[in-house]
């Protein structure tokens, strides 16, 4: 229960008095706290489920902390992921480029595309098929701004259109999937 509490705080991010994410500081605080309690436990990316030690070995540009991914800035809402997962769900592109792609493909915003990529990566990481009824779990686990019904609709749209589905899938989704 205690580990779940700390993970929940880490995944949702911690902010300073200006509301800016402080991931490095919080990563260090959680690691120190785990060490004090003698836990054989490390911080993990909620999406790929790799712990910090593994990330340091596997990801060349990993600096030892997780990265806050904004779903929205006002109000501040997001999830803390490793940099690799952060880049994967964003097509390894700038937000404005993903926003443009979303409009070209007929979606409302970059968040819709990122949620679909997140769902695909979640399916791969858990070795479960992509399915519409995973929407509630996604909203809850990843602090999404979309409602369960909105996420369910996004998943349905992609599952019903093979051409659209293929636009979302690339080799990066399988990075370090075990």
Q: What is the mean pLDDT of residues 136-152?
A: 94
Element (H, E) at 152: helix 148-160
Residue 164 — pLDDT band, cuts 50, 70, 90?
Answer: very high
**pLDDT at site 46:** 87
pLDDT tens per residue across span 59-101: 555 555 677 788 887 777 888 888 889 999 999 999 999 999 9
Among candidate residues 61, 59, 77, 58, the one with its CA nearest the CA of residue 69: 77
Q: Does residue 67 sit in helix, strand or coil?
A: strand
pLDDT at 10 over 70: no
**pLDDT at site 19:** 55
Residue 144 CA, distance from chain mean position: 9
Is residue 164 packed enough to be buried (19+ CB in 10 Å), middle (13-18) or exposed (0-12)? middle
Q: d(Cα 124, Cα 65) in Å, to the nearest integer?
A: 23
pLDDT tens per residue across span 31-41: 666 666 666 66
Among candidate residues 107, 111, 101, the one with its CA nearest the CA of residue 146: 111
**pLDDT at site 51:** 81
**pLDDT at site 31:** 65
């Amino acid at each position: 229960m205690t580990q779940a509490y700390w993970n929940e705080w880490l995944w949702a991010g911690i902010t300073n008095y200006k509301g800016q994410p402080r991931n490095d500081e919080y990563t260090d605080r959680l690691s120190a706290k785990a060490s004090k309690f003698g836990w054989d436990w490390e911080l993990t990316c909620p999406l790929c489920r790799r712990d910090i030690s593994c990330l340091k070995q596997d990801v060349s540009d990993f600096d030892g902390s997780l990265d806050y991914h904004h779903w929205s800035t006002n109000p501040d809402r997001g999830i803390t992921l490793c940099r690799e997962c952060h880049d994967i769900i964003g097509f390894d592109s700038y937000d404005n480029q993903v926003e443009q792609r979303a409009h070209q493909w007929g979606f409302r915003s970059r968040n819709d595309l990122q949620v679909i990529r997140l769902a695909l990566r979640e399916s791969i990481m858990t070795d479960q098929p992509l399915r519409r009824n995973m929407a509630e779990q996604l909203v809850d686990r990843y602090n999404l701004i979309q409602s369960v019904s909105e996420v369910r609709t996004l998943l349905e749209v992609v599952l019903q259109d093979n051409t659209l589905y293929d636009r979302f899938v690339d080799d990066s989704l399988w990075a370090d999937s075990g």
